[in-house]
Amino acid sequence: MGSERWYENAVIYAIDVKAFQDSNGDGIGDFRGLTDRLDYLDALGVDCLWLLPFYPTPGRDNGYDVRDYYGVDPRLGTLGDFADFVRAAEERGIRVVVDLVVNHTSKEHPWFRAAREDPDSPYRDYYVWSEEVPDPDPSKGSVFPGEAGGDRVWTYDEVADAYYFHRFYDFQPDLDLTNPAVREEIRKIMGFWLQLGVSGFRIDAATLMIQGKRPGVAVPDDPHQILRDLRAHAVSYREDAVLIAEADDEPSELAEYFGDGDEMDLLLNFVLDAYLTLALAEERAAPIEECLDLLPEVPPGGQWANFLRNYDELNVGRLDEADRRTVFERFAPDEDMRIYGRGIRRRLAPILEGDRDRIELAFSLLFSMPGTPLFVYGDEIGMGEDLSLPGREAVRTPMQWSDAPNGGFSTAAPSSLIRPVVDEGEFGYERVNVADQWDDPESLLGFVRRLIGTRKTCPEVGTADPIVLETGAESVFAHRYDADGETVVLVHNLGSEPRSVRIELGEERSPVGLLGDAAVEDRGGTWTVDLPRYDYRWLRAARRSG
């Protein structure tokens, strides 16, 4: 299917299978339900699905605690259902990327069981052990401060009579990725899913995979070799396979994850997420410009995967204290909306107070950023969160398909749903659902479909470098991309006041509207764009003929 660089202009849509569509009325979304919804995804225009972990699991971290890497959680279906699904997706030109969670396993994984029971087991060295809590601790601490089992990184195991290392919860022992046997296991896991037809992997916790875990041994000699190996495995099975890394690292460290085009293909752009959020909160363009300066250059073949929201907290931990405070005050005014001191446990639409103009602006900005856009199920219709659910669960409620009971997600009794459907308030399923918006071009869903269609006609955004344009207006971010003699110009007003801005093209070019309806006046290569509050305009700069 298609070229090796297919991902540069893909639109990625993230799905938690168990919360998407239940096909058999047991209250749990499943692969058959997802397969039935492929026509929707096809019509929406997305062409790459990222599936959150769907493997057998005790389910204590939304499936990121894997018990068996070679199976499907029986509640979600069988391997046969999975194969049917991949095939049906492929028939529609939709690719599937799955989560590869090999920084750690579940405590219930047979490897860990064997490891703790027998010091001589070959599986013992799959994990990281210590007789006592090492001092100084080689890690930077836990990823989930303040949560049960997440507030320390060494936990004593009575059976093993030793401490094991875990950067996440205590039920997720870290694998020792310096152990060649572990690396060989990972190769086989990747091969298995690639043979079943997936187009690649989202590499969970890539940053932590390459950090030192063993007391006394700070880091492996060449930690990035771990990631280069993953890529070598993937392309040996399938040339067009991609790896999307969850590399939430310092901006100065990010370039290394791309290697020389021999490591990660895409990096989830956590830095941009934080700065876009700040720009939206401050209603100023400057943070976006600052961020583009901060991000390293991407080698040929490397790409950013840009997003505003995912299934975790919206992490603004990379912003400085004052900026973080601004974001929290504007987008998470109640303490209960915040988490880990660095994040917001809300969805996009409620963060933007359900304001259609602002939601469209945010989507348009996201899709205009250099890279491949990614969004999570439900954001295309403006779903909200459920703050009564614990922690990050708040943003993981079931998809809202219609105003039928349970939002059309399942025919089960509400009490047996995997998670409650949002059923009240402004974002409840009776008011926010696919069925209502489907045939309505004026709906948010209608807009998102147009936006996806427009992005597909602007491959420059996925391949060229952006050039920021002077506008003289603090709230307006304007940029252009040039490639193969073609130019697209994108103008966004992040502010609540209308703005008229002048843009110099540097040569005579006529504006051809692609998206948005703000008025544009052309005077010999100088364009004046009149932007209402929170508005956007996508334009192609056409050469004058004759």
* Catalytic machinery residues: 204, 246
Residue from 44, 101, 344, 352 that binds ligand NOJ (CB under 6 A)? Answer: 101
- Going residue by residue from 59 to 98, which x/- string records binding to ligand NOJ, judged by CB under 6 A? --xx-x----------------------------------
Give the CA distances from residue 239 to residues 126, 190, 266, 315, 377, in Å, rounded to whole numbers and listed in that order.
29, 13, 15, 33, 28
Q: Which residue is nearest to Ca ion (CB)?
A: 30
Ramachandran class of 84: left when φ > 0, alpha when ψ lies in -120 to 50, beta otherwise:
alpha
Out of Ca ion, ligand NOJ, none, what residue 205 binds, judged by CB under 5 to 8 A for its kind, is: ligand NOJ
Closer Cβ to ligand NOJ, 8 or 99, answer by number: 99
Binding region for ligand NOJ (CB under 6 A) out of 57-65, 269-277, 445-453, 458-466: 57-65
Cβ–Cβ under 8 Å, residues 185 and 230: no
Q: Which two tokens stand for residue 541?
A: 């700069």
Helix pair 321-331, 270-282: axis angle to 10 deg: 60
Closer Cβ to ligand NOJ, 14 or 298, answer by number: 14
Out of ligand NOJ, Ca ion, none, what residue 312 binds, judged by CB under 5 to 8 A for its kind, is: ligand NOJ
- In the complex, what is the shortest distance from the CB of residue 339 to ligand NOJ, in angstroms, rounded to a whole number? 12
Cβ–Cβ under 8 Å, residues 36 and 23: yes
Q: Which two tokens stand for residue 266?
A: 């895409």
Closer Cβ to ligand NOJ, 246 or 273, answer by number: 246
Out of ligand NOJ, Ca ion, none, what residue 248 binds, judged by CB under 5 to 8 A for its kind, is: none
- In the complex, what is the shortest distance from the CB of residue 29 to Ca ion, in angstroms, rounded to a whole number? 6
- Going residue by residue from 154 to 183, which x/- string records binding to ligand NOJ, judged by CB under 6 A? --------------x---------------
- Going residue by residue from 463 to 502, which x/- string records binding to ligand NOJ, judged by CB under 6 A? ----------------------------------------
Write b or e for each residue in 197-217: b if 16 or more Cβ atoms lie within 10 A of its Cβ, otherwise e.
bbbbbbbbbbbbbbbebbbee
Closer Cβ to ligand NOJ, 173 or 407, answer by number: 173
Spatial separation of the C-alpha atoms in residues 118 and 129, rounded to whole Å:
13
Closer Cβ to ligand NOJ, 106 or 437, answer by number: 106
Out of Ca ion, ligand NOJ, none, what residue 30 binds, judged by CB under 5 to 8 A for its kind, is: Ca ion
Residue from 16, 22, 65, 312 that binds Ca ion (CB under 5 A)? Answer: 22
Handedness of CA 116, 142, 50, 482 (dihedral sign): negative
Out of ligand NOJ, Ca ion, none, what residue 64 binds, judged by CB under 5 to 8 A for its kind, is: ligand NOJ
Spatial separation of the C-alpha atoms in residues 348 and 94, rounded to whole Å:
25
204 binds ligand NOJ (CB under 6 A): yes
- In the complex, what is the shortest distance from the CB of residue 292 to ligand NOJ, in angstroms, rounded to a whole number? 25
Binding region for ligand NOJ (CB under 6 A) out of 56-64, 89-97, 440-448, 537-545: 56-64
| Close Cβ partners of 424 (under 8 Å, ≥ 6 residues apart) | none
Instruction: Pick out residues in 23-52 that bind Ca ion (CB under 5 A).
Output: 24, 26, 28, 30
Q: Which two tokens stand for residue 429?
A: 């399923």
Nearest CA among 316, 207, 220 for reference residue 254: 207
Contacts with ligand NOJ by CB under 6 A: the residue count is 9
Closer Cβ to Ca ion, 32 or 338, answer by number: 32
Out of Ca ion, ligand NOJ, none, what residue 323 binds, judged by CB under 5 to 8 A for its kind, is: none
Spatial separation of the C-alpha atoms in residues 224 and 126, rounded to whole Å:
19
Write b or e for each residue in 367-402: b if 16 or more Cβ atoms lie within 10 A of its Cβ, otherwise e.
bbbbbbbbbbbbbbbbbbbbeebebbbbbbbbbbbb
Q: Which two tokens stand for residue 14?
A: 């993230």
3-state secondary structure 402-447: CCCHHHHCCCCCHHHCCCCCCCCCCCCCCCCCHHHHHCCCCCHHHH
Spatial separation of the C-alpha atoms in residues 291 and 305, rounded to whole Å:
15
- Going residue by residue from 238 to 267, which x/- string records binding to ligand NOJ, judged by CB under 6 A? --------x---------------------
What backbone torsions phi and psi does residue 542 show, to the nearest 5 degrees? -90, 140
Nearest CA among 458, 465, 467, 475 for reference residue 506: 467
Task: List residues near ligand NOJ by CB under 6 A.
Answer: 61-62, 64, 101, 168, 204-205, 246, 312
Task: List residues near Ca ion by CB under 5 A.
Answer: 22, 24, 26, 28, 30
